């Protein structure tokens, strides 16, 4: 690790799209991360991104970024199908990696990345940024403290209505479009956080649109002891995007759970606690700071978003797609 990063992580950014803008825009709210370098497919795009965020250097190829010895860790913010190669290239270059969700297109790809990270003793984590938000940390504490008794049911939905170009990545099968990987990863990961990613049974249904991608879906997960999760996602329906965790003694409500700034605890139908997060950042700073802390401490993965859980989630998503008969072009 470079001398410049003995106290702070020099982040290198692969991809300059919307999600990378959010991540880099939040880095000033961390105490251990610096937006150092960016790479794009064109020098013009890289330079524009670097100027926007007052970074040090921009590159017109990912390879050049990975060769920069001042870069300590890589944030991968490219389209889904590029994640595997971007992550493997970064690991081969000896860089720690934080990869935007969904981690990969399928479990097989992720298994390869995890094996390489462990062989090279490098940090690797899925950028499931919502899991690190203060309201969700509070939710986990409420559950661990037994505030709602035994958890019985998780309900989580994330959907919006996209009426744009059918060639847009959201509806483009070549780019891993569809609801499951784009919106569905949030409720599925949320259910995994509470109940685990290895249910006994998986039941699902979907609507496959004209471009061949799933535009909406519903998933029901059955766990030991009658516990269950009811999850929905869509790119053609606007949902309230709330999450509920129901227990034997009460329940938790999280409005706008993937952007959550608050959480409510109810006992016997009455609100007894209300957690509010008055952060100035969008929320990506929390995952960035946690990844930076772990890297600086020499840790190889996060216990909040462990690699084995990310892998179990990918396997669950693979099973759901197999029920629909949905394969991406790269899997044919």
Q: Is the dihedral of CA 79, 85, 89, 94 positive or negative?
A: positive
Instruction: Give yes or no for a contact between 273 and 252, defined as CB atoms under 8 angstroms apart.
Output: no
State the DSSP H helix or E strand holding residue 58, giving kind and residue range, or none if neither: strand 57-59
Task: With CA atoms as reference, report the closest residue to 211 among 320, 126, 329.
Answer: 329
Q: Which residues contact 53 (CB under 8 A, 6 or more apart)?
A: 24, 25, 27, 35, 38
101 as an active site residue: the answer is yes
Instruction: Quote the CA–CA distance of 210 and 223 in Å, as a whole number.
Output: 34
Max CA pair span of the chain: 59
* Ordered DSSP codes for 208-268: E-TTSSEEEEEEEEE-GGG-EEEEEEESBS-----EEEEESSEEEEETTGGG-SEEEEEET
Question: Which of 8, 84, 95, 101 is an active site residue?
Answer: 101
Q: How many other C-beta atoms are found inside a 10 Å radius of the C-beta of residue 308?
A: 10
Catalytic residues: 101
């Amino acid at each position: 690790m470079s001398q410049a990063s003995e106290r702070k992580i020099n982040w290198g950014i692969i991809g300059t799209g919307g999600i990378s803008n959010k991540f880099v825009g939040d880095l000033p709210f961390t105490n251990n991360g610096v937006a150092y370098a960016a790479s794009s497919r064109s020098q013009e795009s890289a330079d524009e991104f670097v100027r926007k965020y007052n970074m040090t250097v921009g590159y017109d190829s990912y390879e050049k970024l990975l060769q920069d010895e001042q870069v300590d860790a890589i944030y991968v913010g490219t389209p889904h199908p590029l994640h595997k190669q971007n992550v493997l290239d970064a690991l081969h270059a000896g860089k720690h990696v934080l990869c935007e969700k969904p981690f990969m297109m399928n479990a097989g790809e992720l298994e390869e990345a995890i094996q390489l990270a462990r062989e090279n003793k490098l940090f690797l984590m899925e950028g499931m940024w919502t899991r690190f938000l203060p309201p969700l940390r509070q939710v986990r504490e409420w559950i661990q403290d037994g505030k709602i008794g035994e958890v019985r049911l998780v309900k989580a939905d994330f959907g919006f209505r996209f009426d744009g170009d059918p060639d847009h990545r959201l509806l483009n099968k070549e780019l891993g479009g569809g609801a499951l990987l784009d919106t569905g990863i949030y409720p599925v990961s949320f259910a995994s956080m509470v109940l685990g990613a290895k249910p006994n049974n998986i039941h699902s249904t979907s609507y496959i649109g004209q471009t061949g991608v799933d535009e909406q879906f519903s998933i029901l997960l059955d766990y030991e002891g009658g516990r269950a999760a009811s999850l929905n996602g869509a790119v053609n329906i606007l949902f309230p995007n709330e999450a509920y965790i129901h227990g034997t003694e009460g329940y938790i409500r999280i409005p706008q759970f993937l952007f959550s700034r608050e959480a409510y605890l109810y006992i016997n139908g009455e609100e007894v606690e209300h957690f509010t997060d008055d952060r100035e950042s969008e929320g990506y700073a929390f995952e960035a700071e946690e990844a930076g802390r772990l890297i600086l401490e020499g840790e190889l993965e996060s216990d909040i978003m462990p690699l084995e859980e990310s892998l179990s989630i990918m396997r669950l998503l693979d099973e759901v797609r197999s029920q629909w008969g949905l394969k991406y072009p790269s899997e044919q």
